[in-house]
Structure 1
């Protein structure tokens, strides 16, 4: 019998901790903290609403993170 795949633990990081950071620095920090996917978006971007475990969404305006959410 094959071993069960190891699913990584989701990050327990608080999305609010990225507010005010520069976009590149926030994305790098998020990856080091365990987020598998980091998506940067402009304000008002049209995005699909599917939830993706391990994804952090960063809304960025003028190279500064203004909003964050998971999924």
Structure 2
């Protein structure tokens, strides 16, 4: 049997640190900290629930990050 693949390492980062930042600055900071995918979504957007290692999600309202989560 083949070994299970090891998912890529995620940056050691706290998603709550992005809340309150303007969307552009938050995305730039996330990429600088090593997140491979950064996704900005409007409040209430319908999204898939699969977990993608290395992805950081922002809920953005009025140009400001309102919520942030991994995956």
Normalization by structure 1: what TM-score? 0.87
**Unmatched 5+ residue regions in structure 2?**
1-6
Structure 1 unpaired stretches of 5+: 1-6
> Match for residue 4 of structure 2?
none
CA distance in 2, matches of 1:14, 1:25: 16
Give the 3-state SS of the residue equivalent to 1:29 in structure 2. Answer: helix
Task: Provide the secondary structure at the position in 2 that maps to 1:28.
Answer: helix
**Alignment RMSD (CA, Å):** 1.1
Distance across 2 between alignment mates of 1:8 and 1:48: 20
Deviant stretches of 4+, over 3 Å: none
TM-score by length of 2: 0.87
Count how many residue pairs are aligned between Structure 1 and Structure 2: 65
User: Given that residues 8 and 53 in structure 2 are in contact (C-alpha distance below 8 angstroms), is that contact kept between their aligned partners in structure 1?
Assistant: no
